[in-house]
């Protein structure tokens, strides 16, 4: 019992230490280049914008470190204070230990545990993002988003958790297989439901009104053998000046979504290149590969959960007198981020590989590298991207290659670039 708790505490401390070390490396790297735009990046940003981008990156790093201290302290207190078993005993003494009671407990506790992070979310939006000109949200909208999120989380999470608890407790020795199949089916349903019925609760989606742009983008999609039903514009500007493009859904539910900020920031050729990149993810099978990988990892997670549920010392280590499915779900959810953190570089490596492949596809589809290069440079400038991250920080966290790496690969032959020297990002 003590061994399990100590292993957990050591893992939490190690994660925090690595996060702090990587942040320190990145801060030093940004500071080293802050005064002068590196030769490889001249033309992307002028000196004033480059310094502002460095300041923005440093501010986010400092904020992230303090937030990390807080989150770590909250997690440790929750795990060792006896709060969890006390809350569980009080809940079950009043409402019993049925599947609905267990599901409601998990949702209620997770919502409660999200409360300590609200001041940090507020500060990030209304202080940090506001300081650098990115915040477009209002206090009313910010509160409404969180209220909607809590209601949706309870409305969707409670029945889903109830179903999983029932499956685990009533399907015998192969419960892990049935639970995995159930969760996989739920994920596929949500992949369709979220963009069509849930996202519109937070943002407004309107058909692209510019007929000329719509025709060009739809023609590009047809050339890329990506047959979408429509192109919609999302009002991302009501919350942030940051921009993005994506496609949602599967089959006949598929549609292209452009942030209104993206349309404002890029020209027609650059928008075509960005869309071609997104189509590249689809045509190269990245969506299905990611879903398949996630499904396999979920199966592994259920197998691990099965082993933990059969280990009484696992529950006793955190103060629980006996094993139960809802408690197993709770502890597994709280600890998965601690131990899953060490696999982050592998996920990052795969994501970066996919980004290179999508870039290469876009280059082929539009017939040149220049439009996507211009788009990448423009977005880096508009979003005050960190153009000179430390290589270790980038390799660990960056799901996309750095600007220099992507441009080098596009202008050479579309293949992945070798990791660039620190000065080049």
Phi first, then psi: give them for residue 201, nearest 5 degrees: -75, -20
Separation CA 412–CA 239 (nearest Å):
37
Q: Where are the beta strands (DSSP E) in 286-365?
A: none
Structure tokens at 322: 């006996």
Q: Chain-centre distance of CA 42, in angstroms?
A: 30
State the catalytic residue, choosing from 129, 270, 355, 359: 359
Question: Is 359 tagged catalytic?
Answer: yes
Place of tokens 């990587």: 22
Separation CA 375–CA 373 (nearest Å):
5
Supply angle C-alpha 104, 121, 61, rounded to 5: 130
Q: Chain-centre distance of CA 52, in angstroms?
A: 25
Structure tokens at 165: 């608890």
CA distances from 357 to 42, 242, 297, 350, 401 (A): 26, 24, 23, 11, 11
CA distances from 383 to 44, 56, 380 (A): 12, 10, 5
The neighbouring-strand residues paired with 42 are: 45
State the catalytic residue, choosing from 270, 278, 357, 405: 278
Q: Chain-centre distance of CA 56, in angstroms?
A: 20
Closest by alpha carbon to 375, among 386, 387, 362, 364? 362
Place of tokens 């003494």: 93
Q: Where are the beta strands (DSSP E) in 229-369?
A: 231-234, 245-248, 255-259
Question: Is 222 tagged catalytic?
Answer: no
Q: Chain-centre distance of CA 218, in angstroms?
A: 28
Separation CA 92–CA 339 (nearest Å):
29
* Residues taking part in catalysis: 278, 359
């Amino acid at each position: 019992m003590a061994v399990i708790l100590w292993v957990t505490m050591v893992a939490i401390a190690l994660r925090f230490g690595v996060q702090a070390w990587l942040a320190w490396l990145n801060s030093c790297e940004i500071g080293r280049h802050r005064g002068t735009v590196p030769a490889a990046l001249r033309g992307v940003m002028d000196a004033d914008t480059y310094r502002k981008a460095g300041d923005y990156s440093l501010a986010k790093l400092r904020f992230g470190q303090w937030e990390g201290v807080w989150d770590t302290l909250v997690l440790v207190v929750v795990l060792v204070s006896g709060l969890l078993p006390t809350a569980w005993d009080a809940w079950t003494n009043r409402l019993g230990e049925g599947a609905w009671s267990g599901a409601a407990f998990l949702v209620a506790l997770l919502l409660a545990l999200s409360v300590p992070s609200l001041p940090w979310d507020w500060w990030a939006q209304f202080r940090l993002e506001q300081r650098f000109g990115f915040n477009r949200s209002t206090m009313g909208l910010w509160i409404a988003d969180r209220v909607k999120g809590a209601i949706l989380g309870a409305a969707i999470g409670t029945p889903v958790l109830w179903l999983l608890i029932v499956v685990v407790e009533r399907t015998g020795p192969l419960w892990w297989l049935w639970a995995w199949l159930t969760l996989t089916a739920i994920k596929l349903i949500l992949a369709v439901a979220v963009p069509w019925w849930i996202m519109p609760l937070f943002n407004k989606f309107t058909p692209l009104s510019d007929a000329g742009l719509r025709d060009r983008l739809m023609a590009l999609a047809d050339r890329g053998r990506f047959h979408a039903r429509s192109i919609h514009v999302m009002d991302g500007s009501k919350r942030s000046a940051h921009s993005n493009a994506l496609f949602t859904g599967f089959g006949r539910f598929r549609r292209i979504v452009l942030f209104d900020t993206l349309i404002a920031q890029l020209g027609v050729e650059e928008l075509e290149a960005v869309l071609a990149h997104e189509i590249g993810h689809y045509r190269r099978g990245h969506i299905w590969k990611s879903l398949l990988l996630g499904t396999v990892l979920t199966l592994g997670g259920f197998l691990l959960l099965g082993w933990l549920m059969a280990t009484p010392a696992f529950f006793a280590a955190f103060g629980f007198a006996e094993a139960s499915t809802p408690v197993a779900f709770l502890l597994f959810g709280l600890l998965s981020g601690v131990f899953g953190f060490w696999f982050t570089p592998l996920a990052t490596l795969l994501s970066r590989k996919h980004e290179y492949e999508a870039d290469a596809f876009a280059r082929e589809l539009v017939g040149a590298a220049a439009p996507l290069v211009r788009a990448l440079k423009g977005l880096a400038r508009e979003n005050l991207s960190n153009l000179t991250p430390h290589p270790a920080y980038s390799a660990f966290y960056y799901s996309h290659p750095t600007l220099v790496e992507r441009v080098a690969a596009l202008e050479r032959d579309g293949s992945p670039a070798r990791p660039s020297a620190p000065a080049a990002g």
